[in-house]
Amino acid sequence: MRFLIEQTQKEVPGVNVGLTGGPVLDHDEMEQSQNDSTLASVVTLIACALIFIYGYQETGASVESNVLPG
């Protein structure tokens, strides 16, 4: 649906079209939640790595503990 709306807006300048309703809101919220979770995970990984580096005063062991599994 969103693709069709974008096509229509390109073909007919000035048209104002949008989607409403529960399923649309649910999809938008889920997409935003996934994006936010990914960002939070990356920021947390970097923060933990920096804490290990600062705490151990070296990069080898701290990077291995954050990057390598097991």
Q: Which two tokens stand for residue 55?
A: 């705490």
In this predicted structure, the answer to whether residue 59 has a pLDDT above a threshold of 80 is: no
- Percent of the chain past pLDDT 70, that is, above it, reads 83
How far apart, in whole angstroms, are the C-alpha atoms of residue 64 and residue 70?
A: 10
Q: What are the two backbone dihedrals, phi and then psi, of residue 31, each rounded to the nearest 5 degrees?
A: -65, -45
pTM beyond cutoff 0.85? no
In this predicted structure, the answer to whether residue 8 has a pLDDT above a threshold of 80 is: yes
Query: What is the separation, in whole angstroms, between the first and last Cα of the chain?
Result: 44
Q: Residues 25-58: pLDDT tens digits?
A: 999 999 999 999 999 999 998 998 888 778 877 7
Q: What is the pLDDT of residue 44?
A: 94
Average pLDDT of the chain is 84
How far apart, in whole angstroms, are the C-alpha atoms of residue 5 and residue 16?
A: 9
